[in-house]
Chains A and B, each alone.
Chain A
Amino acid sequence: MSAVTQTPAAASADARKAGDWLLVATVILLGIWVLLPIYLLIVNALSSPEQVTAFPKRFFPSFDTGSLSFFINFAGVARALWNSVLVATLTMILSIGFGAPAGYALSRFDFPGKGTFRFLVLMTRAFPLPLLALPLAVMFIRTGLDDTAIGLALVHTTLALPFAVLITFSLFSGIPVELEEAAWTLGCTRLQAFRKVILPLALPGIAASAVFAFTISWNEVFAAAVLTIENRTLTAFLLQSLGESPLYLKFAGGTALVVPALIFIFAVRKYLFAMWGIANR
């Protein structure tokens, strides 16, 4: 009976409902996939050392700061944290400082070798870092750049630069040339037009690209481990010292790595969602 009376409209409504459920289920699954490990990491970091090693595992934090305070006071952590911030900030400044002008040039000018240039920018990512790290280490020792924040930041910049160039390239390409030309006809020099028109429109994207460079450096471990000894960044420090440390210390260290990256991205999320959009179409 019901099979006979079911109209096509009802069938399509059923299909849509099923589709909705599938969407919700997928969203939940992906949410769990991303959030659960972070949640467990933070729960364990916020539990006392005894609770972390105990069984059964807790699913809610006891907000015991024992693990974290032990980690913070662990010899060298504060310094490694400072090094990480320093290197990541330098990387951010260098990547945007070099990447944004390159992206602007790519989007606005036609010059011989433009295609080759874009290709070469990408090519820098074709060589595995371990392959480069050893000759780099030798060169850095010779030039005295080894074990310095600026030396490591230079390496991280080569990793982050291709992304900075390509992100800013598409960013500037998305801003109509006419806006710039209008500014020129209204009395701006090229530089003034860039500062008064292009920069305000590109700022959200540049911020996003800067955050991206920061996180690339913050998360990078291989070059950091090879090229620094005394001035370890947090990742390199954790890799070196936490292998043999107790479980609760690993959780605390992991949290210390993840949380800043999360906060940073969260803080600039509104920039990432483009403040004004380009409402000129």
Chain B
Amino acid sequence: MAEIAIKGVAKRFGGFTALHQVDLAIADQEFMVLLGASGCGKTTLLRIVAGLETPSQGEVWIGGRRVDHLPPRERGIAMVFQNYAVFPHLTVFENIAFGLRMKKLPQADVERRVNRTAELMHIEQLLKRYSGQLSGGQRQRVAVARALAMEPDVILMDEPLSNLDALLRLEMRAELKGVLAASKTTTIYVTHDQVEAMSLADRIAVMHQGRIVQAASPVEVYRNPAARFVGSFIGNPPMNFIPATKTGNGSWSVAGLTLPGPKSDKQRIEFAIRPEDVDAGSEGLHATVRVIEPLGPHTLVTCDVEGGLFRAILESNASVKVGEQLRLAPKADRIRWFDPETTNAL
């Protein structure tokens, strides 16, 4: 059992605040992805859990034990680094065995565990090589095997796939998911790649400017963004936003269209819709087509709606032309509303 609790953790570097009072609870065996743009504090948070960085305030609990004052070696964690950090002076075997030898396990156990994890990561034929003789993908496998061999309570991964080329990344992603699910460890995985986050995570914690904006399942994060940032960060292309003005109680005017919405005493809020959640038809938002990008399974159409950019994903057999006037009807159950001041969902 190794659930993780991060309680009010803050980190300041001099005058710069990297993390503001972050709270996050991660269940045992959960795969939690920290997602955010570079500089949002996700790596700092991971390093605080690892013990490589000390929090300015707050507490970190792993498996019911407070660990924020403990060195990394006493936290029951293993970490996979972005640049692999495979020891260049040791063979692959000795790299994987490194942590086991530190635990002073008998040689037979060391060999058994190294061989098993090497097999799991498909690197058993590389055990005698040095890191200089390995490709990036192979080094990554060694780094993961080294972490798994420790049989830790928690595995921490800091953008482990970002140095691999696209095809390899896809392959490793699927493999990692299988291996980590089978290992039954709790995982915290840091990435800036939303596709990676969506495909791997049990839950995604979206981070922005040192805060966790939303922590929820991938579908929830995608469908019901808790804040404007989440909607604009997740999804490719991102969510569309259009200003809305009040026309009555729970009734809003969006680009000339009157839609039912939240009851609010604000005069102006924001209407938001995912590009795939509109239908071209005889009614809806007035849109002037600017760019058409046929992508195979569907067509991405970039339009002008009330002087702002609006992206719509239409069926690929939809015959639209540049300059044409379209009516785009938003699917009622997919419309989201945001408060422009707090940027939170309404």
Residue pair B85, A187 in contact (C-beta under 8 Å): no
Mark each residue of chain B from 79 to 107: 1 if its CB lies under 8 Å from any CB of chain A, else 0: 10111111111000000001100110000
**Contact mask for chain B residues 214-250; partner A; CB cutoff 8 A; 1 contact, 0 none:** 0000000000000000000000000000000000000
State in angstroms the CA–CA spacing of A187 and B149 once bound together: 13
Interface size class of A (residues with CB under 8 A): 20 to 34
Closest to A190 in B: B71
Q: How far is the CA of A182 from the CA of B146 in the complex (A)?
A: 10
Assembled-state Cα–Cα distance A277/B88 (Å): 8
Task: Return the chain B residue nearest A186 by Cβ.
Answer: B99
Which residue of B is nearest A187, CB measured? Answer: B102
A278 adjacent to B88 (CB under 8 Å): yes
Does B52 sit at the interface, judged by CB under 8 A? yes
Chain A residue nearest in CB terms to B102: A187
Is A280 an interface residue when CB atoms closer than 8 A count as contact? yes
Contact residues in A for B150 (Cβ distance below 8 Å): 186-187
Interface residues of A in 248-281 (CB under 8 A from B): 276-281
Indicate if the CB atoms of A200 and B77 lie closer than 8 Å: no
The distance in angstroms between the C-alpha atoms of A178 and B132, with both chains bound, is 16
Is B50 an interface residue, CB under 8 A from the partner? yes
Chain B residue nearest to A275 (CB atoms) is B89
Known contacts being A192-B102, A277-B132, A279-B130, is A185 close to B72, with CB within 8 Å? yes
Question: Is B69 in the interface zone, CB < 8 Å from A?
Answer: no
The answer to whether B77 and A185 have CB atoms under 8 Å apart is: yes
A residues less than 8 Å from B84 (CB atoms): 280
Q: Does A189 contact B (CB under 8 A)?
A: yes
Shortest B46–chain A CB gap in Å is 11
Which residues in B have their C-beta under 8 angstroms from that of A187?
Answer: 73, 99, 102-103, 150
Chain A residues lying within 8 Å of B50, measured Cβ to Cβ, are: 181, 185
Q: Which of chain A's residues have a CB closer than 8 A to the CB of B88?
A: 179, 201, 276-280
Which A residues fall within an 8 A CB radius of B? Answer: 176, 178-179, 181-189, 192, 196-197, 200-201, 276-281
Q: Which 6 pairs show the lowest CB-CB distances between chains A and B?
A: A187-B102, A279-B132, A186-B99, A178-B85, A182-B85, A184-B72
A185-B72, A187-B102, A201-B89 given. 20 additional CB < 8 A pairs? Answer: A178-B85, A182-B79, A182-B81, A182-B85, A182-B146, A184-B71, A185-B52, A185-B73, A185-B78, A188-B73, A188-B102, A189-B73, A196-B98, A197-B89, A276-B132, A278-B88, A279-B130, A279-B132, A280-B84, A280-B86
- Can you list 28 contacts pairing A with B, beta carbon distance less than 8 Å? A179-B85, A181-B50, A181-B72, A182-B79, A183-B98, A184-B71, A184-B72, A184-B73, A185-B51, A185-B52, A185-B78, A185-B156, A186-B73, A186-B98, A186-B99, A187-B99, A187-B102, A187-B103, A188-B73, A188-B102, A189-B71, A189-B73, A196-B98, A201-B89, A276-B88, A276-B89, A280-B84, A280-B131
Measuring CB to CB, which residues of chain B are less than 8 angstroms from any residue of chain A? Answer: 50-52, 71-73, 77-79, 81-89, 98-99, 102-103, 130-132, 146, 150, 156
